[in-house]
Amino acid sequence: MPTLFTRIIEGELPAHFVWKDDVCVVFLSIAPLKPGHCLVVPRAEIDHWLDAEPDVYAHLARVSQKVGRALMQAFSPERIATLILGMEVNHLHVHVVPIWSEGDVNFRNADTSASQDALAEAAARVRDALRALGHEEVSE
């Protein structure tokens, strides 16, 4: 049975995509810790990050860094946090989150009722920043 993220990648479920390439996609979290909270997800169904091929894992890190730079430009946070948890969806994904304090990465504070309008606005800001940084993999 396909994972939730595979269903999103295949277009069965909606998402606010900001990046697509042959190895991974990036879309906004539906329960963001902060506006702009992105998930970097490999197209391949990989359960645990330890199971990822080194080249795939390195690609996810490179894309996470590019997205992080775009988040810095779009939201001007103090830092960008990256986390790999894998507890909520059994499909490897890197959380890339603009933060202003360590408390900003507490998942108990996630906005579980983020509006589609707020997500769309944050996605547009991230896409604009990615384009400004010269990336062609920006997705609509």
**Token pair belonging to 74:** 């779009």
- Rounded Cα distance, 104 and 48, in Å: 24
Are 126 and 38 a contacting pair, CB within 8 Å? Answer: yes
Output the six-digit token pair for 11: 């277009």
Cite the active site residues.
93
CA distance 34 to 17: 17
Structure tokens at 64: 């996470």
E-strand spans in 22-134?
Answer: 24-28, 38-42, 79-83, 94-99
